């Protein structure tokens, strides 16, 4: 009887937990954010060059995965609204990937001022697209 009661009490929590499972895009975006934070701290440090390049490569891979996915806000849209949203979403990803390519080149060349500038631009890009695509 105690087991049955426990199961009844836990079932709603289990169902809610499954509903809150993050989408693939959300998981990738969290990875991009985590890598960004690490890069912000270490990208200008020549002794961290290989690690920084690996972080950038991970971010580019996450962008590639996101290109083929649909973010959760778009799941509620249809027709032209969906097309416009996805076009804007992919445009933002393309801009991010272009910045990541520049960042990779700047890290390889050891151009610390450029690295900082590119990272600041990526943060501005994040703010723009996060507010536009909510």
**Cβ proximity of 48 and 112 under 8 Å:** no
**Cβ proximity of 42 and 48 under 8 Å:** yes
Chain segment 15-45, per-residue pLDDT in tens: 444 456 788 999 999 999 999 999 999 988 9
Give the mean model confidence (pLDDT) for residues 114-121.
Answer: 96
pTM of the predicted protein model: 0.82
Question: Residue 125 above 80 pLDDT?
Answer: yes
Chain segment 62-110, per-residue pLDDT in tens: 999 999 999 999 999 999 999 999 999 999 999 999 999 999 999 999 9
**66-70 long-range Cβ contacts below 8 angstroms, 24+ apart:** 66/24, 66/25, 66/28, 66/29, 66/93, 67/93, 69/23, 69/24, 69/25, 69/28, 70/25
Using pLDDT thresholds of 50, 70 and 90, give the confidence band for residue 5. Answer: very low
Higher-pLDDT residue of 96 and 6 is 96
Alpha-carbon distance of 101 to 106, in angstroms, equals 9
Give the tokens for residue 123: 């943060």
Give the tokens for residue 51: 């690690």
Higher-pLDDT residue of 7 and 22 is 22
Q: For the chain, which domains are there?
A: 23-132 (1.20.120.10)
**Cβ proximity of 37 and 52 under 8 Å:** no
Alpha-carbon distance of 90 to 94, in angstroms, equals 6
């Amino acid at each position: 009887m105690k087991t049955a009661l426990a199961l009844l009490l836990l079932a709603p929590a289990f169902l809610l937990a499954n509903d809150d499972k993050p989408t693939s895009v959300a998981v990738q975006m969290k990875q991009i954010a985590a890598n960004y934070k690490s890069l912000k701290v270490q990208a200008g440090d020549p002794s961290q060059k290989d690690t920084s390049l690996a972080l950038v490569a991970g971010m580019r891979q996450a962008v590639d995965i996101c290109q083929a996915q649909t973010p959760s806000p778009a799941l509620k849209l249809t027709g032209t609204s969906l097309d416009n949203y996805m076009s804007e979403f992919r445009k933002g990803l393309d801009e991010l990937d272009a910045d990541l390519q520049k960042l990779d080149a700047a890290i390889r060349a050891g151009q610390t001022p450029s690295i900082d500038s590119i990272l600041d631009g990526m943060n501005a890009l994040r703010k723009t697209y996060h507010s536009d695509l909510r």
